[in-house]
Structures are given as C-alpha cells and as structure tokens.
C-alpha cells in the first residue's frame, strides 16, 4: 500500500487520532480527488468533478423574507453581481448532456465591502454520501476494472449493501427526467446552513433554486434523436431571448430534523420561504470564461450565514482547493 493510502486507512480506522486535523483533511482530499481521477481517467486542465460546464453571469436580489432570516448583506435588496457556472456531473469534459447524472449550478455573489458568497448546487435534493470517508470508496466501486474495462456490478452491489444511505441520490436521478435545459431544472444546495438574523436568533435551512421557466425534462423518445451536446447552446439561445431566472427558496428546519446528513431530505411539509431572485443574463460564447480559474467553495460565506456541522459540507473545501491547484498547474503547462 502507498504511504498516503496507508495513512488514510490508518486514520480512518483509528478515528483520525494519529493525524492532525489538517493532515487528515489533506489526505482525505487526496483520496477523494485521486478517486475522481481514476473514474474519469486523466483530463488535464479540467475540474475533477463537474468537468463539463459553461460560464455565465447575472445578478441576485434578496428580499424582506430573506432579511427576516439573516442579516447577510445579500438580502438587503441591492443588485448583487453574480458569476455562475452550469455543469454536467462527473470528471469528464466530454460527458454526455443526456446522462442521468446531476447538473450543477455554481455561484459566486460579489457582496458589498469585498465579501463573497460561494456555493455549488446540484439537480438532486440529496447527495450520494452522508460521510466524507464514503466518497472515495463510492467512486472507486464505480471505476472500471482494468481487466474488463467496465465497472464490476458486484462491487457496486456490495458497497451499496454496506452503505444503504449512498443509494438515495441514484434512486432520485433514476426517476427524474434528463433536464432539457440548464435553465429549467431545480438546483438544491443539499447541505444545511445556519441563517442568523441577530446574535442568538438563528434558524437552520437548506436552499434551492427553482426555475421560473418551470422544470423541463426530456422524454425517452426525444433523447433518441438528440446528440450529446445541447445544454450550452440551448442556454445561450434561451438567454439571448430573455434572462433566465430562479427563485431562491429556503426550506426551514424544525426541531428533530437531521442537520448533518445530506442524503436525507427533510419532510415536504417544512416551511419554504422565497428569499430572493437569481437572474442569469449572460452566457460565455465558448468553453471557459471568468468562472474557469475559480473554485466554488461552499464554506466561503457572508456574515449572517454559517456552516452547519454536516461533515460532508465541512470536508468540501480541501478537495476543491486540491482540484483547483492540479487543474491550474496543468493548464499552465499546456
Ligand atoms: C465530500 C464531498 C465532496 C467532494 C469530495 C467533492 C469534490 C469536488 C471536486 C474535487 C470538485 C471540483 C472543484 C474544482 O476543481 O473547482 C467539485 C465540484 C463540484 N461539486 Fe463537489 N464534492 C463534494 C460534495 C459536493 C456536494 C454535497 C455538492 C452539492 C451540493 C457538490 C456539488 C459540486 C458541483 C456542482 C461542482 C462543480 C462546481 C463548478 O462548476 O465549479 N459537491 N466537487
């Protein structure tokens, strides 16, 4: 076993008591990013997840309901400039737009006084692991066996049986239609965050972006006549006619709701508050653009919004930074 893998295995087995938190986070991030690279194969210069995507931009306007929940400046009602990136799940820049994977909406809000808010949302209400240490083995179980060139269904079955929580996202995606547009699909933040109105007055919530155009899915019949590339062109055409907008909604947790497991949705009966509007009015012409050299770290938050104790949320910064570092150094060599 390589020294790094040995360290990861040892720290996982011993509850990470052997490694400092920083070293543990770094070695876990390496295992996660290496697993993504193993699944997609070498894709120099690309994101290790959400590799295929396009840059866009627009603005966000928060409202009074948002202000009631959080003192964050994003809800003051000003027009906040936003950089966006729409993506297809997975580590390949050639992923098919017809894949039954997630679509991504990553955003950076440029707030007054140099503050920023970053997030990366997906077109599923739940994530595929409840604990960060499940991430690398989940991906490895789906990686092609060098002998057959295909993933081993027995490995996937065994991993799912031992980790039933990791089947919930797949079950959602299997029944959801393939999105017809980046601008007509629901995106969820999945992780819980604490919205603070004033010191001592806060509520936990999960957000989602609901498309004003409605949710548009493709039928099996439509998919048959479509190529693997349509999402970028469709969004450019859509935005050329009129801006694409999303309602920003907060689902409020109640006592007893699980705040730390992103594979578990909260009951539909929970109060959902519309707290602002996201408007996308520009899409980059080709691949690349302002969003390319950025990463969207969901722990970059404005004052008035705090991370929950969700371990998956708290584990995201390190692999994002690692993927960014690897792809930028590869791009510089090109
Ligand atoms: C431990 C859990 C996770 C790991 C290890 C992980 C890993 C990664 C990595 C390495 C990247 C590429 C970053 C870059 O190069 O800039 C990425 C991007 C992304 N992730 Fe995650 N991720 C995790 C959790 C999540 C969750 C919970 C969500 C959904 C809420 C999510 C949604 C996305 C999206 C949409 C992108 C593409 C962002 C973009 O367009 O730049 N990830 N992830």
CATH code of the domain in which 251 resides: 2.40.180.10
Closest alpha carbon to 206 in 172, 150, 252, 270: 252
Across the chain, what does the average pLDDT equal?
94
How many domains does the structure of the chain reveal?
1
- Cα radius of gyration rounded to whole Å, the chain: 20
Encoding tokens for residue 311?
């371990």
Query: What pLDDT score does 168 carry?
Result: 98
Encoding tokens for residue 259?
């705040």
Closest alpha carbon to 132 in 284, 257, 319: 319
Query: pTM (2 decimals)?
Result: 0.94
Q: Which of 33, 36, 47, 49 to mutate to test the pocket of ligand 1 (most atoms within 8 A of CB)?
A: 49
Helix (H) or strand (E) holding 83: strand 79-88
What is the average per-residue pLDDT within 30-59? Answer: 98
Query: What pLDDT score does 17 carry?
Result: 57
Q: Which residues line ligand 1 (CB under 6 A)?
A: 32-33, 36, 47-50, 53, 85, 87, 104, 106, 120-122, 127, 132, 135, 189-191, 262, 295-296, 312, 315-316, 319-320, 323-324, 327
- Residues 204-231 have pLDDT tens digits of 999 999 999 999 999 999 999 999 999 9
Distance 279 CA to ligand 1 centre (A): 22
- Host domain of residue 274: 3-333
Query: What pLDDT score does 189 carry?
Result: 98
pLDDT of residue 9 exceeding 70, the answer is no
Q: Hey, whose CA ends up nearest to atom 25 of ligand 1?
A: 316
**Cβ distance 191 to 308 under 8 Å?**
yes
Strands 52-62 and 272-283: antiparallel
pLDDT of residue 1 exceeding 60, the answer is no
Distance 169 CA to ligand 1 centre (A): 15
- Residues 137-160 have pLDDT tens digits of 999 999 999 999 999 999 999 999
Query: ∠192-165-195 over CA atoms, to 5°?
Result: 5
CA distances (Å), origin 21, targets 26, 73, 174, 229, 247: 9, 32, 37, 42, 38
What is the C-alpha separation between 161 and 79, in angstroms, rounded? Answer: 48
Q: How confident is the model at residue 286 (pLDDT cuts 50, 70, 90)?
A: confident
Residue 123's CB: how many other CB atoms inside 10 A? 22
**Cβ distance 173 to 124 under 8 Å?**
yes
Query: What pLDDT score does 13 carry?
Result: 47
Q: How confident is the model at residue 194 (pLDDT cuts 50, 70, 90)?
A: very high
Q: How confident is the model at residue 272 (pLDDT cuts 50, 70, 90)?
A: very high
Q: How confident is the model at residue 8 (pLDDT cuts 50, 70, 90)?
A: very low
- Residues 290-330 have pLDDT tens digits of 899 999 999 999 999 999 999 999 999 999 999 999 999 99
Bridge partners of residue 267, in order along the sequence: none
Q: Which of 45, 50, 87, 131 to mutate to test the pocket of ligand 1 (most atoms within 8 A of CB)?
A: 50
Distance 198 CA to ligand 1 centre (A): 30
Distance 128 CA to ligand 1 centre (A): 12
Bridge partners of residue 247, in order along the sequence: 210, 277
């Amino acid at each position: 076993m390589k020294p790094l893998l040995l360290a990861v295995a040892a720290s996982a087995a011993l509850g990470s008591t052997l490694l400092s938190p920083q070293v543990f986070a770094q070695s876990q991030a390496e295992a996660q990013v290496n697993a993504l690279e193993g699944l997609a194969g070498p894709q120099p210069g690309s994101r290790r997840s959400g590799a295929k995507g396009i840059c866009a931009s627009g603005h966000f306007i928060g409202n009074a309901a948002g202000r009631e929940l959080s003192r964050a400046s994003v809800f003051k009602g000003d027009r906040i400039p936003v950089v966006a990136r729409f993506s297809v799940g997975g580590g390949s820049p050639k992923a098919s737009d017809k894949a039954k994977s997630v679509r991504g909406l990553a955003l950076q809000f440029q707030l007054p006084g140099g503050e920023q808010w970053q997030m990366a949302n997906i077109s599923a209400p739940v994530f595929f692991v409840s604990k960060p240490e499940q991430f690398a083995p989940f991906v490895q179980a789906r990686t092609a066996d060098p002998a057959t060139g295909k993933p081993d269904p027995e490995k996937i079955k065994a991993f799912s049986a031992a980790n039933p929580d990791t089947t919930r996202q797949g079950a959602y995606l299997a029944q959801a239609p393939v999105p017809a547009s980046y601008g007509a699909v629901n995106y969820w933040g999945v992780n819980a965050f604490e919205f603070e109105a004033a010191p001592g007055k806060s509520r936990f919530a999960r957000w989602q972006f609901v498309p004003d155009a409605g949710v548009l899915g493709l039928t099996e019949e439509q998919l048959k006549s479509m190529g693997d590339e349509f999402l970028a062109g469709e969004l450019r055409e859509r935005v050329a006619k009129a801006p694409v907008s999303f309602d920003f909604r907060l689902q409020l947790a109640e006592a007893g709701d699980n705040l730390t497991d992103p594979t578990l949705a909260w009951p539909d009966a929970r109060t959902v508050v519309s707290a602002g509007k996201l408007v996308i009015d520009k899409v980059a012409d080709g691949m690349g653009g302002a969003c390319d050299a950025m990463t969207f770290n969901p722990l970059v938050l404005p004052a008035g919004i705090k991370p929950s104790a969700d371990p998956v949320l708290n584990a995201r910064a390190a692999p994002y930074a690692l993927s960014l570092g690897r792809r930028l150094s590869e791009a510089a060599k090109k």
